[in-house]
Structure 1
Amino acid sequence: MNPVRVKDVVLGEGAPKIIVPLTGRTGEALLEQVDAVAPHADIVEWRVDFFDDLPAAVDQARVLADALGSVPLLATVRTSNEGGEITIADDAYGDLTVALAESGAVDLVDVEYRRERRVVERICESAHARKVAVVASNHDFDATPPKNEIVARLREMQELGADVCKIAVMPRSRADVLTLLDATRTMFEEYADRPLVTMSMGGLGVVSRLAGHVFGSAATFGMVGTASAPGQVDVTELRSVLGVIERAG
Protein backbone atom coordinates (compact mmCIF):
# COMPACT_ATOMS: atom_id res chain seq x y z
CA MET A 1 0.00 0.00 0.00
CA ASN A 2 1.29 3.42 -1.01
CA PRO A 3 -0.26 5.94 1.41
CA VAL A 4 -1.08 9.43 0.21
CA ARG A 5 0.16 12.38 2.26
CA VAL A 6 -1.61 15.72 1.99
CA LYS A 7 -0.12 18.26 4.37
CA ASP A 8 -0.07 16.46 7.74
CA VAL A 9 -2.77 13.93 6.85
CA VAL A 10 -1.90 10.45 5.58
CA LEU A 11 -4.57 8.47 3.74
CA GLY A 12 -3.97 4.75 3.90
CA GLU A 13 -2.31 4.67 7.32
CA GLY A 14 -3.79 4.55 10.78
CA ALA A 15 -7.38 5.43 11.57
CA PRO A 16 -9.80 6.27 8.75
CA LYS A 17 -9.79 9.94 7.85
CA ILE A 18 -12.95 12.04 7.99
CA ILE A 19 -13.77 14.21 4.99
CA VAL A 20 -16.36 16.93 5.47
CA PRO A 21 -17.95 18.83 2.56
CA LEU A 22 -18.52 22.54 2.05
CA THR A 23 -21.67 23.25 0.04
CA GLY A 24 -22.09 27.01 0.30
CA ARG A 25 -23.29 28.86 -2.79
CA THR A 26 -21.48 32.12 -2.01
CA GLY A 27 -18.08 33.05 -0.67
CA GLU A 28 -19.62 34.34 2.52
CA ALA A 29 -21.57 31.13 3.09
CA LEU A 30 -18.46 29.04 2.43
CA LEU A 31 -16.39 30.91 5.00
CA GLU A 32 -19.15 30.46 7.57
CA GLN A 33 -19.07 26.73 6.86
CA VAL A 34 -15.27 26.66 7.18
CA ASP A 35 -15.56 27.98 10.71
CA ALA A 36 -17.96 25.16 11.59
CA VAL A 37 -16.27 22.36 9.64
CA ALA A 38 -12.51 22.86 10.00
CA PRO A 39 -12.24 21.86 13.69
CA HIS A 40 -13.82 18.48 12.94
CA ALA A 41 -12.38 17.46 9.57
CA ASP A 42 -9.19 15.67 8.59
CA ILE A 43 -9.81 16.82 4.99
CA VAL A 44 -12.31 19.40 3.77
CA GLU A 45 -14.03 18.82 0.44
CA TRP A 46 -15.21 21.88 -1.46
CA ARG A 47 -18.16 20.92 -3.65
CA VAL A 48 -17.47 23.45 -6.36
CA ASP A 49 -20.64 22.48 -8.22
CA PHE A 50 -22.73 24.16 -5.49
CA PHE A 51 -20.91 27.48 -5.99
CA ASP A 52 -22.88 30.11 -7.90
CA ASP A 53 -19.89 31.90 -9.46
CA LEU A 54 -17.81 29.28 -11.28
CA PRO A 55 -15.63 31.87 -13.12
CA ALA A 56 -14.40 32.93 -9.66
CA ALA A 57 -13.75 29.37 -8.48
CA VAL A 58 -9.94 29.60 -8.52
CA ASP A 59 -9.95 32.82 -6.50
CA GLN A 60 -12.42 31.28 -4.08
CA ALA A 61 -10.23 28.19 -3.71
CA ARG A 62 -7.36 30.42 -2.59
CA VAL A 63 -9.59 32.13 -0.04
CA LEU A 64 -10.68 28.77 1.32
CA ALA A 65 -7.13 27.45 1.49
CA ASP A 66 -6.06 30.49 3.51
CA ALA A 67 -8.99 30.04 5.86
CA LEU A 68 -8.33 26.32 6.33
CA GLY A 69 -4.65 26.71 7.12
CA SER A 70 -3.19 23.25 7.80
CA VAL A 71 -6.38 21.36 6.87
CA PRO A 72 -6.08 19.84 3.36
CA LEU A 73 -8.56 20.95 0.69
CA LEU A 74 -10.14 18.57 -1.82
CA ALA A 75 -11.80 20.30 -4.80
CA THR A 76 -14.71 18.41 -6.35
CA VAL A 77 -16.76 19.37 -9.38
CA ARG A 78 -19.56 16.85 -9.08
CA THR A 79 -21.70 16.73 -12.21
CA SER A 80 -25.36 15.86 -12.63
CA ASN A 81 -24.36 12.55 -14.23
CA GLU A 82 -23.03 11.48 -10.83
CA GLY A 83 -25.46 13.20 -8.48
CA GLY A 84 -24.00 16.70 -8.57
CA GLU A 85 -25.43 20.16 -9.08
CA ILE A 86 -24.25 21.08 -12.58
CA THR A 87 -24.38 19.81 -16.12
CA ILE A 88 -21.13 20.56 -17.93
CA ALA A 89 -19.41 19.41 -21.13
CA ASP A 90 -16.29 17.28 -20.83
CA ASP A 91 -13.88 19.97 -22.03
CA ALA A 92 -15.34 22.62 -19.72
CA TYR A 93 -15.21 20.13 -16.85
CA GLY A 94 -11.57 19.48 -17.64
CA ASP A 95 -10.72 23.18 -17.90
CA LEU A 96 -12.28 23.93 -14.51
CA THR A 97 -10.71 20.98 -12.73
CA VAL A 98 -7.28 21.66 -14.23
CA ALA A 99 -7.51 25.32 -13.21
CA LEU A 100 -8.24 24.26 -9.64
CA ALA A 101 -5.37 21.76 -9.69
CA GLU A 102 -3.02 24.46 -10.97
CA SER A 103 -4.24 27.12 -8.55
CA GLY A 104 -1.77 26.28 -5.81
CA ALA A 105 -4.69 26.28 -3.39
CA VAL A 106 -5.92 22.69 -3.39
CA ASP A 107 -4.24 19.54 -2.15
CA LEU A 108 -6.46 17.03 -3.95
CA VAL A 109 -8.83 17.10 -6.92
CA ASP A 110 -11.70 14.74 -7.64
CA VAL A 111 -11.93 13.32 -11.16
CA GLU A 112 -15.00 11.47 -12.42
CA TYR A 113 -13.07 8.72 -14.12
CA ARG A 114 -15.83 7.89 -16.62
CA ARG A 115 -15.62 11.29 -18.29
CA GLU A 116 -13.95 11.33 -21.71
CA ARG A 117 -10.60 9.59 -21.32
CA ARG A 118 -8.44 12.35 -22.81
CA VAL A 119 -10.00 14.83 -20.36
CA VAL A 120 -9.40 12.53 -17.40
CA GLU A 121 -5.79 11.96 -18.44
CA ARG A 122 -5.23 15.70 -18.88
CA ILE A 123 -6.51 16.39 -15.37
CA CYS A 124 -4.35 13.65 -13.87
CA GLU A 125 -1.23 14.89 -15.66
CA SER A 126 -1.80 18.51 -14.66
CA ALA A 127 -2.52 17.63 -11.04
CA HIS A 128 0.49 15.34 -10.68
CA ALA A 129 2.78 17.91 -12.28
CA ARG A 130 1.89 20.18 -9.36
CA LYS A 131 1.98 17.43 -6.74
CA VAL A 132 -1.79 17.55 -6.27
CA ALA A 133 -3.31 14.17 -5.43
CA VAL A 134 -6.01 12.77 -7.70
CA VAL A 135 -9.13 11.10 -6.31
CA ALA A 136 -10.72 9.10 -9.13
CA SER A 137 -14.41 8.66 -8.42
CA ASN A 138 -17.56 6.93 -9.56
CA HIS A 139 -21.08 7.32 -8.15
CA ASP A 140 -24.04 5.07 -8.91
CA PHE A 141 -27.23 6.59 -7.49
CA ASP A 142 -29.47 3.98 -9.07
CA ALA A 143 -28.16 0.66 -7.80
CA THR A 144 -25.28 -1.41 -6.49
CA PRO A 145 -23.36 -3.14 -9.28
CA PRO A 146 -22.25 -6.76 -8.82
CA LYS A 147 -19.14 -7.28 -6.74
CA ASN A 148 -16.90 -8.05 -9.70
CA GLU A 149 -18.01 -4.84 -11.44
CA ILE A 150 -17.23 -2.72 -8.37
CA VAL A 151 -13.78 -4.29 -8.15
CA ALA A 152 -13.24 -3.79 -11.89
CA ARG A 153 -14.07 -0.08 -11.64
CA LEU A 154 -11.69 0.42 -8.74
CA ARG A 155 -8.94 -1.42 -10.58
CA GLU A 156 -9.47 0.74 -13.65
CA MET A 157 -9.10 3.88 -11.53
CA GLN A 158 -5.86 2.49 -10.15
CA GLU A 159 -4.59 1.71 -13.64
CA LEU A 160 -5.36 5.28 -14.70
CA GLY A 161 -2.86 6.45 -12.10
CA ALA A 162 -5.22 7.96 -9.54
CA ASP A 163 -3.74 8.34 -6.07
CA VAL A 164 -7.02 7.45 -4.35
CA CYS A 165 -9.82 5.30 -5.79
CA LYS A 166 -13.37 6.12 -4.69
CA ILE A 167 -16.74 4.53 -5.39
CA ALA A 168 -20.20 5.21 -3.94
CA VAL A 169 -23.21 3.07 -4.75
CA MET A 170 -26.90 2.99 -3.84
CA PRO A 171 -28.19 -0.11 -2.05
CA ARG A 172 -31.66 -1.50 -2.71
CA SER A 173 -31.33 -4.27 -0.13
CA ARG A 174 -29.21 -5.34 2.81
CA ALA A 175 -27.44 -7.72 0.46
CA ASP A 176 -26.31 -4.76 -1.64
CA VAL A 177 -24.53 -3.27 1.37
CA LEU A 178 -22.72 -6.55 1.90
CA THR A 179 -21.79 -6.58 -1.79
CA LEU A 180 -20.11 -3.18 -1.47
CA LEU A 181 -18.25 -4.16 1.69
CA ASP A 182 -17.06 -7.47 0.25
CA ALA A 183 -15.93 -5.77 -2.95
CA THR A 184 -13.95 -3.34 -0.80
CA ARG A 185 -12.36 -6.23 1.08
CA THR A 186 -11.43 -8.05 -2.11
CA MET A 187 -9.96 -4.95 -3.72
CA PHE A 188 -8.02 -4.08 -0.58
CA GLU A 189 -6.65 -7.59 0.01
CA GLU A 190 -5.96 -8.68 -3.56
CA TYR A 191 -5.38 -5.68 -5.84
CA ALA A 192 -5.01 -2.30 -4.17
CA ASP A 193 -1.64 -0.61 -3.92
CA ARG A 194 -3.12 2.77 -2.97
CA PRO A 195 -5.92 4.01 -0.70
CA LEU A 196 -9.57 3.19 -1.39
CA VAL A 197 -12.63 5.13 -0.32
CA THR A 198 -15.89 3.24 -0.66
CA MET A 199 -19.42 3.67 0.62
CA SER A 200 -22.96 2.44 0.31
CA MET A 201 -25.28 5.45 0.34
CA GLY A 202 -28.62 6.18 1.98
CA GLY A 203 -29.99 4.88 5.25
CA LEU A 204 -29.31 1.24 4.42
CA GLY A 205 -25.67 1.98 3.73
CA VAL A 206 -24.82 3.96 6.88
CA VAL A 207 -22.93 0.99 8.31
CA SER A 208 -20.43 1.31 5.46
CA ARG A 209 -19.70 4.89 6.50
CA LEU A 210 -19.19 3.85 10.10
CA ALA A 211 -17.20 0.63 9.61
CA GLY A 212 -15.95 0.70 6.03
CA HIS A 213 -12.33 0.91 7.21
CA VAL A 214 -12.68 -2.58 8.70
CA PHE A 215 -12.98 -3.80 5.10
CA GLY A 216 -10.29 -1.53 3.64
CA SER A 217 -11.77 1.94 3.09
CA ALA A 218 -9.26 4.64 4.07
CA ALA A 219 -11.72 7.48 4.66
CA THR A 220 -15.35 8.30 5.24
CA PHE A 221 -17.52 11.36 4.72
CA GLY A 222 -19.25 13.17 7.57
CA MET A 223 -21.32 16.32 7.65
CA VAL A 224 -21.70 19.53 9.59
CA GLY A 225 -25.10 20.97 8.77
CA THR A 226 -25.90 20.09 5.14
CA ALA A 227 -25.17 16.65 3.69
CA SER A 228 -23.70 16.44 0.20
CA ALA A 229 -24.83 12.84 -0.35
CA PRO A 230 -27.51 10.55 1.08
CA GLY A 231 -26.64 8.85 4.36
CA GLN A 232 -23.86 11.13 5.59
CA VAL A 233 -23.55 11.13 9.38
CA ASP A 234 -23.00 14.10 11.68
CA VAL A 235 -19.23 14.44 12.04
CA THR A 236 -19.24 14.48 15.84
CA GLU A 237 -21.24 11.27 16.04
CA LEU A 238 -19.13 9.76 13.27
CA ARG A 239 -15.85 10.44 15.04
CA SER A 240 -17.27 8.97 18.26
CA VAL A 241 -18.25 5.71 16.52
CA LEU A 242 -14.92 5.47 14.71
CA GLY A 243 -13.18 5.86 18.06
CA VAL A 244 -15.21 3.01 19.55
CA ILE A 245 -14.33 0.71 16.65
CA GLU A 246 -10.65 1.67 16.75
CA ARG A 247 -10.37 1.04 20.49
CA ALA A 248 -12.10 -2.32 20.13
CA GLY A 249 -9.61 -3.38 17.46
Structure 2
Amino acid sequence: MVREVYLADVALGSGRAKIIVAVASAEDVRLALESECDIVEVRADLAPTEWEKLLQAVRGRRPILATVRSESEGGKCPDALYEETVTRLLAQSPEAIDVQVD
Protein backbone atom coordinates (compact mmCIF):
# COMPACT_ATOMS: atom_id res chain seq x y z
CA MET A 1 0.00 0.00 0.00
CA VAL A 2 1.38 3.38 -1.01
CA ARG A 3 0.90 6.27 1.36
CA GLU A 4 0.80 9.83 0.10
CA VAL A 5 3.19 12.36 1.57
CA TYR A 6 2.65 16.04 0.83
CA LEU A 7 5.14 18.83 0.26
CA ALA A 8 2.82 21.83 0.41
CA ASP A 9 0.15 20.93 -2.14
CA VAL A 10 2.21 18.35 -4.05
CA ALA A 11 1.30 14.73 -3.28
CA LEU A 12 4.23 12.33 -3.43
CA GLY A 13 3.42 8.64 -3.77
CA SER A 14 0.41 8.95 -6.04
CA GLY A 15 -0.24 9.96 -9.61
CA ARG A 16 2.56 10.72 -12.02
CA ALA A 17 6.22 11.04 -11.12
CA LYS A 18 6.99 14.48 -9.72
CA ILE A 19 9.59 16.73 -11.34
CA ILE A 20 12.16 18.35 -9.06
CA VAL A 21 14.47 21.00 -10.53
CA ALA A 22 17.70 21.86 -8.69
CA VAL A 23 18.70 25.53 -8.60
CA ALA A 24 21.87 27.34 -7.57
CA SER A 25 21.43 30.78 -9.17
CA ALA A 26 18.78 33.41 -9.85
CA GLU A 27 18.74 32.33 -13.50
CA ASP A 28 18.12 28.72 -12.44
CA VAL A 29 15.19 29.90 -10.30
CA ARG A 30 13.72 31.86 -13.20
CA LEU A 31 13.93 28.84 -15.49
CA ALA A 32 12.53 26.49 -12.86
CA LEU A 33 9.55 28.73 -12.17
CA GLU A 34 8.86 29.07 -15.90
CA SER A 35 8.86 25.29 -16.21
CA GLU A 36 6.16 22.92 -15.10
CA CYS A 37 8.26 21.44 -12.31
CA ASP A 38 6.49 20.36 -9.14
CA ILE A 39 9.22 21.08 -6.58
CA VAL A 40 12.31 23.30 -6.57
CA GLU A 41 15.46 21.99 -4.92
CA VAL A 42 17.64 24.84 -3.63
CA ARG A 43 21.25 23.64 -3.43
CA ALA A 44 22.69 25.67 -0.55
CA ASP A 45 26.15 24.17 -1.02
CA LEU A 46 26.28 25.31 -4.66
CA ALA A 47 25.09 28.85 -3.83
CA PRO A 48 26.76 29.61 -0.49
CA THR A 49 26.29 33.39 -0.68
CA GLU A 50 22.83 33.52 -2.22
CA TRP A 51 20.83 30.45 -1.20
CA GLU A 52 18.67 32.47 1.23
CA LYS A 53 17.68 34.82 -1.62
CA LEU A 54 16.91 31.81 -3.81
CA LEU A 55 14.63 30.38 -1.11
CA GLN A 56 12.77 33.67 -0.89
CA ALA A 57 12.36 33.84 -4.68
CA VAL A 58 10.78 30.37 -4.74
CA ARG A 59 8.75 30.56 -1.50
CA GLY A 60 5.02 30.40 -2.11
CA ARG A 61 5.49 29.58 -5.78
CA ARG A 62 6.65 25.96 -5.48
CA PRO A 63 7.39 23.63 -2.58
CA ILE A 64 11.07 23.84 -1.62
CA LEU A 65 13.44 20.95 -1.05
CA ALA A 66 16.55 22.50 0.50
CA THR A 67 19.73 20.49 0.04
CA VAL A 68 23.24 20.86 1.37
CA ARG A 69 26.07 18.47 0.57
CA SER A 70 29.39 18.62 2.37
CA GLU A 71 32.66 18.21 0.53
CA SER A 72 33.00 14.69 1.94
CA GLU A 73 29.57 13.89 0.45
CA GLY A 74 30.60 15.19 -2.98
CA GLY A 75 29.12 18.68 -2.51
CA LYS A 76 30.67 22.10 -2.08
CA CYS A 77 29.92 22.94 1.59
CA PRO A 78 33.08 22.78 3.70
CA ASP A 79 32.68 19.98 6.24
CA ALA A 80 33.35 22.46 9.07
CA LEU A 81 30.32 24.57 8.00
CA TYR A 82 27.90 21.72 7.33
CA GLU A 83 26.09 21.68 10.69
CA GLU A 84 25.78 25.48 10.75
CA THR A 85 24.41 25.52 7.20
CA VAL A 86 21.81 22.84 7.99
CA THR A 87 20.75 24.80 11.09
CA ARG A 88 20.38 27.97 8.99
CA LEU A 89 18.35 26.03 6.41
CA LEU A 90 16.02 24.75 9.12
CA ALA A 91 15.44 28.32 10.31
CA GLN A 92 14.15 29.19 6.82
CA SER A 93 11.35 26.56 7.08
CA PRO A 94 11.49 24.93 3.65
CA GLU A 95 8.94 22.18 3.06
CA ALA A 96 11.74 19.57 3.22
CA ILE A 97 15.49 19.32 3.77
CA ASP A 98 17.67 16.67 2.14
CA VAL A 99 20.67 15.64 4.25
CA GLN A 100 22.97 12.63 4.14
CA VAL A 101 23.10 10.28 7.11
CA ASP A 102 26.24 8.21 7.45
Tell me which interval the TM-score lies in, with the shorter structure as reference length.
0.7 to 0.9
The runs of at least 4 aligned residues of structure 1 exceeding 4 Å deviation read: none
Q: Percent identity between the aligned chains?
A: 33
Alpha-carbon distance, 1:40 to partner: 2.5
Matched residue SS, 2:79: coil
Considering only CA atoms, is the larger Rg found in Structure 1 or Structure 2? 1
- Structure richer in helix, relative to its length: 1
Q: Is the 8 A contact 1:8 1:70 kept in 2?
A: no
| Other-structure match for 2:28 | 33
* Pick aligned residue for 1:47 from 43, 51, 55: 43
**TM-score, length of structure 2 as denominator length:** 0.80
Matched residue SS, 1:95: helix
Q: Which runs of 5+ in 2 are unaligned?
A: none
Alpha-carbon distance, 1:21 to partner: 0.6
Q: How do 1:24-103 and structure 2 match up within 5 A?
A: 24=25, 30=26, 32-38=27-33, 39-53=35-49, 57=51, 59-66=52-59, 69-89=60-80, 92-103=81-92
Q: Aligned AA for 1:112?
A: Q
Q: Is the 8 A contact 2:24 2:43 kept in 1?
A: yes
| Other-structure match for 2:3 | 2
Alpha-carbon distance, 1:36 to partner: 0.9
Q: Which runs of 5+ in 1 are unaligned?
A: 25-29, 115-249
Q: Is the 8 A contact 1:49 1:76 kept in 2?
A: yes
- Tell me how many residue pairs correspond in the alignment: 100
Query: How well do the aligned residues superpose, as a CA RMSD in angstroms?
Result: 2.0
| 1:95-149 residue CA offsets vs partner (Å, 9 max, x unmatched) | 2212212223x111011111xxxxxxxxxxxxxxxxxxxxxxxxxxxxxxxxxxx
State how far apart, in whole Å, the 2-side matches of 1:46 and 1:62 are: 7
**TM-score, length of structure 1 as denominator length:** 0.36
Matched residue SS, 2:66: strand
| Other-structure match for 2:22 | 21
